[in-house]
Chains A and B, each alone.
Chain A
């Protein structure tokens, strides 16, 4: 699914989080929103997911206006910064949550839910952990469970907020490849937010550099490295 962001702006009370920004995300792309904290990247991601609504502007999914769609209607697989796993549920129940939440007519039968959860656990290469609780998992395992939970709803796109932020350097490297693999396997349009330029440059097809609620530059990693458009981008990627 391709996503068009058309002059989206957002203010919270008196403060401007996002100046009008526009961005076209081609179908199946892996896009990084890169910027320091306060650059508006998370706000933009949350607007895509339907967790915030823009003050002005439009969001289009496959050319259709999706600005007014509720968070449920968007069917975006969202991975939260601290993963937000349901702490009182096992890994199995966490992953099955989205399927069980479907209206009765569309809800798969029990056996089908179990089959899909097992398949997702295989996909994230953690087939053994179905009966554990989130507190009994390592950071890397939690991140992968959060990813599996988001994928379980057969999302139209994948949105990730600092997916590697809470992990140590070694696990971070491993999971980068993991996300790349899952993206390539599912072909989902994927947008992730990061403040780590290495991560953005290594992982993404398209990097969107943001600062102070503005988009500074949009381009392939090598182009941004070769031709930074503004002094900010040059500074930020050389840091």
Chain B
């Protein structure tokens, strides 16, 4: 800072140019190293031997099975968690009851428990050595080393995403609009569809997208419960690990690139929706 510069006025929250440049620099550098570089590497490695090799590696039976399995698990886990999340958030924010704080902690539990531990719990509970697991297997409903176990593990790990997004929004909005709808003669069901849901739809969308991305990418818990049976219980992340361990790097990175692309698609969807409904969003947000 030299004395020769003219005094310029800036608002109270504005920082000095040097500091601003430094902060922006740090943010950009962080993004570059932690986000863009890995993304670029994944795609570069996948396409190392050309498009054909990459696409071919995704075309074999095991790879197709893994993709199919991951999409199936996601298609079950995400709607289930969206429904659970809405129900839990509704229950917590619209009613007063004892043990509310405890319930909120319980919802957060999957965030604090290691996914591997969660997977082990499912194995202990539903495995062949437990009474429940034995009974289920005897009746033709194996949970562990089968799709139900993977679904359970995925639901457990991604459980908090939707509820966590919804609870603060619903607390902030209070109950007055729902009460207004009821006094106007609307049923509870109609109130939910016409008042509650539209008010939380952006938080719900955001929570669902996070949940989707996490559900597709879940590794630790699924690795424990799936048994990693190629072509049967190996999801995309599991397949990536197995291929990588077998030094099949093009195949591993092609699968990784596809998984990344799926996540990017969900992000693009969100941005698109936000653009399309920009006017509504602006109207809903408080000034």
Contacts and interface: CB of A to CB of B under 8 A. Distances in A.
A88 B280 contact: yes
Q: Which of B177, B179, B183, B190 has the most CB of A within 10 A?
A: B183
Contacts of A72: 182-183, 185-187
Contact of A80 (B179, B186, B280): B179
A123 to B, nearest CB: 17
Contacts of B286: 135
Interface in A82-111: 82, 84-88, 97-98, 101-102
Contact of B176 (A71, A80, A149): A80
A101 B199 contact: no
A61 B198 CA distance: 35
Nearest to A82: B176
B287 A135 contact: yes
B183 A135 contact: no
Contacts of B177: 84-87
Contacts of A75: 185
A82 B280 CA distance: 21
A49 interface: yes
Given A72-B182, A72-B187, A97-B186, A84 B176 contact: yes
B285 interface: yes
A153 interface: yes
Contacts of A97: 181, 184, 186, 194
Contact of A87 (B185, B190, B199): B199
Given A72-B186, A149-B184, A153-B185, A135 B285 contact: yes
A71 B183 contact: yes
A179 B69 CA distance: 63
Contacts of A149: 180, 184
Interface residues of B, number: 22
B284 interface: yes
Contact of A76 (B176, B183, B186): B183
B224 to A, nearest CB: 43
B195 interface: yes
Q: Which of A51, A84, A97 has the most CB of B within 10 A?
A: A84
B273 to A, nearest CB: 15
A82 B287 CA distance: 15
Contacts of A74: 183
B182 to A, nearest CB: 5
A98 B194 CA distance: 12
Contact of B283 (A78, A88, A150, A152): A88
Nearest to A78: B183
A130 B65 CA distance: 54
Contacts of B179: 51, 71, 78, 80, 84
A101 B186 contact: yes
A232 to B, nearest CB: 30
Nearest to A161: B176
A77 B183 CA distance: 7
A55 interface: no
Given A71-B182, A72-B182, A88 B190 contact: no
Interface string B150-180: 0000000000000000000000000011011
A133 B185 contact: no
Contact of B183 (A49, A85, A102): A49
Interface string A118-131: 00000000000000
Nearest to A50: B183
Nearest to B280: A88
Given A101-B190, A135-B287, A84 B184 contact: no
20 contacts: A50-B183, A51-B182, A71-B182, A72-B182, A74-B183, A78-B180, A80-B176, A81-B176, A86-B195, A87-B177, A87-B199, A88-B198, A88-B199, A88-B283, A98-B185, A101-B181, A101-B194, A152-B184, A153-B184, A153-B185
| 5 closest Cβ pairs, A-B complex | A98-B184, A84-B176, A133-B283, A101-B186, A78-B183
